[in-house]
Chain A
Amino acid sequence: MDLIRIKNVEKKYKNGVTAIYDLNLAIEKGSFVFVIGGSGSGKSTLIKMLYREEKPTKGQVIVGGLDVAKLKDRKVYKLRRKLGIVFQDYRLLPKLTVFENVAFALECLGEKKNEIRQKVLKALEDVGLKNKVHSYPDQLSGGEQQRVAIARAIVNDPKLLLCDEPTGNLDPERSMEIMQVLEDINKNRGTTIIMATHDKEIVNKMKKQVITLKDGHLVNVKKKGKYEDEAI
């Protein structure tokens, strides 16, 4: 079954730049997909449209049965609760501890205290940070901070995890640790993961489905793909 269906989507920004031209795509439930492409290829725009930060100018974006393009601003939170998002710059709150940062997501949804505690500890265990619960973000390495961000994204057990260049700020070794965490989440929780990246090494090592974009056009979709230089 398809979790995401993108039909004839075009995105034109207000400044006249067209980021995506007539995109058609389907992503299966439980899959692990890389979106690759150079700068300006539209991969970030694609991710942004999936969590309704941007609206497509034309076409349909359906995530889990919800037509994202038609979603009113007031109702966006309904979509966001179904997915987790991880960014290159972690976006943690510096004044909160690791535990509080992850719990923050659930507190916003009004969950009960003991339920929050259980879920947070489970999520932190999944990313391998159970021993850093009371640390503050600035006491952690970049890789650890990104793992906290991943824990926050998965704490509500979303069906879809969107990652926008999650390894962009990390060295190759830490990057592989993050990829290991994501792979485990994909396998153990069955979470669909879509990750935008331009890290050639990671894509080649992981051997997952690869969607290649170039200047806003879909170049190809490959199962167990590789990062092909000539395509970019």
Chain B
Amino acid sequence: MKLFRMIGRSIRDAFKSVIRNFSLSLASISCITITLIIVAIAIMASLNVKNFTTEIEKDMTIVVFLDSSTTEEEAKEVEEKIKNLDNVSEYTYQTKKEVKEMMQEESEVFKEVLDNFDDESSPLKDTFQVKVEEVLFIKSTAKQIENMDHVSVVRYGEGMVDKMVSAFTSIEKVTYGVVIALVLVTLFLIINTIKLTISARKKEIGIMRLVGASNFTIKTPFIIEGMILGMFGSIIPIIITTYGYMAFYNHFDGYLYSELIKLVSPEPFIYQVSLIVLGVGILVGMIGSSGAVRKYLKV
């Protein structure tokens, strides 16, 4: 009971203090708002990047062409070997004939041209289409397959894959860096705001100490004040996150520039991001004010 009364009093005091030092509170709320907007954008961007890289990674395929002279039994041997490789998640096998039929279905031109060849003279080759579990190791897997007997050519879009993987990892690192830097700036701002509230209430704190208020009682209002600042600061970013992303998604019909880059669908994505933003706001407010309390309130 007593604890609830004390916490109730702390919350009341914290709100009072936010209102009493309105201009100061507004300044730090705006700073938190700006930071959280950028944090929200960074979170959404990095989650989207993550989403479509995994999508693309799923589609990465190694195409294996066998020698034209390969017999059916030899092809079986190769199949067995591919099956036993660590990084292979699934594969399909197509004979020359199947490849021919597939290509003929795809286009009129191929149909005409390929009709001129029978099985013996066909320029096409038996192929395996291999999917890997981990794109990072696609290169070594391709090498292993290339070294097998009866394999003539292995293709996996070499240059493109390497570049894409390294580009995405560096984009991810940069976003993390920006988010961390912004959170640190916000922390600094909150520490300063709370520091000013503390100095504005120095007399009150002195009297509280004289009449026997415990450290918990003295500290709690300031920590709650930091949390309130964080909470208020996250309102606008949440609105922007929710409506902004929805508008963005609808404007591009869920794809950015090409079918390749697919956006994360807004629900429940925006709610998760809003929750994260609110959580970050409150947590940063709390950590900032505890830091200020520890530093400037020698209790």
Contacts and interface: CB of A to CB of B under 8 A. Distances in A.
Contacts, number: 52
A108 interface: yes
A211 B204 CA distance: 33
Given A104-B211, A110-B217, A73 B203 contact: no
Interface string B195-218: 000000001101111111111010
A138 to B, nearest CB: 14
Interface string A78-109: 11111001000001010000000000110111
A110 B220 CA distance: 13
A93 B299 contact: no
B143 interface: no
Contacts of B213: 77, 108-109
Interface in B173-224: 203-204, 206-215, 217
Contact of B212 (A74, A91, A93, A108): A108
A91 B211 contact: no
Nearest to B217: A108
A156 B211 contact: yes
A40 to B, nearest CB: 24
Contacts of A223: none
A93 B207 contact: yes
Interface residues of A, number: 22
Contacts of B217: 108, 110
Contacts of A73: 299
A73 B299 CA distance: 7
A108 B211 contact: yes
B6 interface: yes
23 contacts: A51-B210, A74-B215, A77-B209, A77-B212, A77-B213, A77-B214, A79-B212, A80-B210, A80-B211, A91-B207, A91-B210, A93-B203, A105-B207, A105-B211, A107-B9, A108-B217, A109-B211, A109-B213, A110-B2, A110-B6, A110-B9, A152-B211, A156-B212
Interface of A: 51, 73-74, 76-82, 85, 91, 93, 104-105, 107-110, 112, 152, 156
